[in-house]
Structure formats: structure tokens, C-alpha cells
Amino acid sequence: MKIFDSIRFRFTSGVFLLIIAITALLSILSYKYEEQAIEKRVYAQLNATADLKKELVVNYINERMNDLRALAAAADLRESIESSVHRKAWPSKTGYYTHSYQHLGSFKATYPDYLSIEVTDLKGDVIISSEGDHPPVGHAHSHRKGIDQFIDTLKRGGAVITQDYLDEKERHLDFAVGVRDKEGDIHAVIISSIGLKNMLFPLFSDYTGLGYTGETLLLKQKGDDIIFINETRHPRSKGMAGAEYHTKNTLGRAAASGNEGIDESVDYRGKKIIAAYRYIPALRWGVIVKVDTEEAFEEIMRLRKRILILSLFILALMLPVVYVIMTKFINPIVSMTQKTGAVASGDYSIRVGSHRRDEIGSLQNNFDAMVEALRTSRKEIAKKQLELEDMNAALERKVAERTAELSDANVALTKAAVQVQERVEELEKFYEMAIDREIRMKEMKKEMERLRAELSKHKKDADGR
């Protein structure tokens, strides 16, 4: 029998294949489930971080704006500003000026991110500055260009933020609100320059939870380009070294143009990233919280390896165990096959002698019983055969005797037959002669009758005449 035709091979390989298939299926299902869970966790974490970072910026901006509003609403400062504004000559040495200057100065000193606080008139000329006479009071501040375009909004009590200095060395935002006089009309503007380096940027250089590659970027759209507002965690590629712009950042563009979501992309280093992006309407900025895909899904790679190793381990453990178990089941069958062969060859002394209590044990016991029954039966048959042979011999003898007797009788009979034959022939001859005589007699009789008839006729004719 070929090995491939054997039950051992077929059964064992079938069970092996089944176990491999089940292990593979379970591994794939488990991997997919875990992969999904990891992906969801990564997305949720990035989303949560992006929401948090956005919230931080929004709250920070809101707080700074509220600070400025509170400052602009402070009665003593308003009074000082009003007095200063209405003076024809610039009041750099007056008490009002000193009071306002000190007020602004102490406010500025409270927060490390305030670069300067200045009060201007509606034309944009500086009246009071936390920096004293530097820049010179009474002159339009070169940094206040952006305020001019919002002067109508400011005059009506609005608050504005200008962002003309994001690409400057000292990146800062200018917050501005109007200051009301006693009648409630806006007659001056108070402007605070907030440096981003000391307060806002540190919030974004905290990479907690973002691993070795993750970072948070603040971005702004400028024409077709995207400006990086804060420092990037990784050095930029050669082409971008020192540059503020990156035109290919599609997620940055999406975020800075009013979209929020999560997606995969390629960052400024050309690395594949997964990023959650948010939009800050007040500043028209985008926030991107990103991490390299490789790192974000490193766990998935690890999981893949782990599941592969675990599967191989399970198979390595299972296959010998299965082999042993299969052997335990198959061996009795194979042994039975061999013993059946021996029985078929006429060896009825074969016995399995099983102690098993299962179906195979029962089969083996039945086999033994069957072989025993077969052996007994064979014995009986042999005995009967011998008897038959004896009877046969006796019969044959009798037949031979009878045959001899018959043969003698036959010879005698043949002789008698010959004699009988001779007699028969003699009789036949006699008979033929007798018959011949009889025939002649009959013919003679007929002739005689005919003659009688003719005679009679002649008599009648003669009578008639």
C-alpha cells in the first residue's frame, strides 16, 4: 500500500490541515479584531489630543482677549486714557500718563507672554505704551498696520486679532479692543502684543502621549502655501531647511481652510503619518496632531508578529500532540488491519487482547471473539471433512466392487445378447419366410376369390341368358 493511500497519512494530514485552517482563521479574526481596536484607540487618542490642543489655543486666545477687555474696561485706566487722548500735547510726563504706563506695565509683567501693551488713538498713533517711550509715543507703531483694516469693527466695540507677525523672529499676535470714553463712545484702542514663544508654543512642544515621532503643529494658510507657526519636532528636509512654507501639506490645507477630521498623509519629512486635524475659526489656524504611521501602528506590527509566533507555537505544540492522539487512535486500526490480514491468511491463533473500554476496545474484543469463532468453526469443518473423506473412500470402494460386478454381468449379458441376437436373426429369417408364405397365401386366396367371383358371374350371365 502506498503511504498516501494509508489511513494514517490521510487521517493525520486531514486533521493537521483542519487544525492549521482553524488556527489560521482564529489568528486572522483575532488579528483583525485587535487591529481594529488598536486603530480605533489610535484615532480616538489623536482626536482627543487634537481636541485638547485646539481647546488650549481657543481658551488661551479667549483668556487673552478677556484680559484685554477687562483692562479696557478698568475705570481708572479709561479715565487716564481719556485725559491723555484729550490733551493737545502728548502727555508723556503727566500723572495720567505715568498712571496708565504703570498700569499697563504691571499688567504686562504679570504674564510672560505679553510683549507690549499699547494704547493708540483711532488713527493708530501710540498714546501710552508699557514700554515707556520706546517705541516713541506719538508715532504710528510700525507693527499696527493690521489694526487699521479693523478700525470700523473696533469703533463699534468689536475685538480683533491680527496676525501680521507670524513669520517674524518674535512671533506674536496683536489683540485689540476699543476703549470707551464717559459717553460710551470708542475713542482709543488698546493693543496687546502676545508672544507665542513663552506660553502657547510650550503647550505644543509637549509630546506626551505622542510617542517618539508624534507632534502638534499650528498651521496657517497663506495663499497656496502653509505656514508652520510653531517649531516642528523634527528637522525639516533639505529643501525646506529654514523655509516657513510647505505647499504639499494637504492636511494642513484642509485644517487651515475650515475642516476637521482624521486621515493619513505624508508630512514635511516625506514620512507617512496619521493625523487628526482641527480648525480654529478665531485665528483661521489649523491644528494638526500627527504621529508616524509606522509608530502609531507599531503595535499592529507587533501584534501581527505576536499572532504569527503564537500560531506557529500553537501548531508546533498541537501537531505532535495531535500526532500522538491520532496514533493512539489509528494504531489499533492499523494493527487490526494487519491481524485481519493474518486471519485472512489462515492464522487463527492471532489475538488482539485489548484492555480498552471504548469502541475500539469493543471492536478488538469482538475481533478476538470473531477469530475464535472462526477458528472453532474451521476446526469443525476440518473434522467434518475428514469424516466425509472416510465416507467417500468407503463409497468409492463399494462403487468399485459394484462396478466389477456389473462388468462381469455385462460380459455375460453381452454374450447372452449375442446369442439373443443370433436367435433374433434366425427368428427374423423365419418370420420373413413365414410372412412371405402368408403373403402368398393371401394372394392365392385373393386369386381364388377372384376366380370364384368370375365364375359366379359367368354362372349368372349364363342363367340370365
Partner 1 sequence: MSKLNDVKTLSFNRFFFITVLLCLLLIAFTGCEKKQNAGISDFETHPIYKNYRFSNDEKVIEIGVPTPWASVNHIVEVMKRDEIFKEELRKAGYAVRFYPFLKGDDINYFMKKGLLEGSIIGDMPTIKAASEDVIKVMSVFNRGSVSLVSRDIYRVKDLKGKRVAYPYGSIAHYYLLRLLKEKGMSENDIRHKPMDAPSMLDAMRDGRIDAFTTFEPTATVYTKIDPTLHTIHRSFSSYAFLNIRKDYGVKHKEAVRLIIAAQVRAVMWMSESDRNLEKASAWMAEESLKIMPLPLDRYIRQLNRIVYEDIAGNIGISAAVISGDITGAGGEISREFEFLKAKGFIPEGKEWGEVVKNFDTSAAVDVIKGMKADSARISE
What Å distances lie between residue 216 and 209, 225, 411, 432, CA to CA? 11, 18, 136, 151
> Does the footprint of partner 1 cover residue 159 (CB under 8 A)?
yes
- Using CB under 8 A, which residues numbered 4 to 43 contact partner 1? 39-40, 43
> Does the footprint of partner 1 cover residue 259 (CB under 8 A)?
yes
CB of 242 to partner 1, least distance (A): 31
Q: In what order do the strands lie in the sheet with 272-280?
A: 225-228, 215-222, 285-292, 272-280
Query: Closer to partner 1 at the Cβ: 71 or 160?
Result: 160
Query: Closer to partner 1 at the Cβ: 153 or 232?
Result: 153
Query: Closer to partner 1 at the Cβ: 254 or 326?
Result: 254
> Does the footprint of partner 1 cover residue 66 (CB under 8 A)?
yes
Omega into 136 within 30° of 0, i.e. cis?
Answer: no
CB of 303 to partner 1, least distance (A): 18
**Binding residue for partner 1, selected from 11, 27, 34, 69, defined by CB under 8 A:** 69
Query: Closer to partner 1 at the Cβ: 147 or 343?
Result: 147
Nearest residue to 296 via CA among 278, 327, 314, 273: 273
Cell numbers representing residue 465 in the block: 341368358
> Does the footprint of partner 1 cover residue 157 (CB under 8 A)?
yes
Query: Closer to partner 1 at the Cβ: 7 or 48?
Result: 48
> Does the footprint of partner 1 cover residue 2 (CB under 8 A)?
no
DSSP string, 115-140: EEEEEEETTSBEEEETTTTSSPTTSB
CB of 335 to partner 1, least distance (A): 57
3-state DSSP assignment of residue 18? helix
Q: Which H or E element spans position 166?
A: none
Q: How far apart are CA 370 and CA 351, in angstroms?
A: 10
Q: How far apart are CA 346 and CA 339, in angstroms?
A: 11
Count of residues near partner 1 by CB under 8 A: 31
> Does the footprint of partner 1 cover residue 156 (CB under 8 A)?
yes
Q: How far apart are CA 191 and CA 99, in angstroms?
A: 17
**Binding residue for partner 1, selected from 57, 68, 128, 160, defined by CB under 8 A:** 160
| Footprint of partner 1 (CB under 8 A) | 39-40, 43-44, 47, 58, 62, 66, 69, 150, 152-153, 155-160, 186, 254, 258-264, 279, 281-282, 284
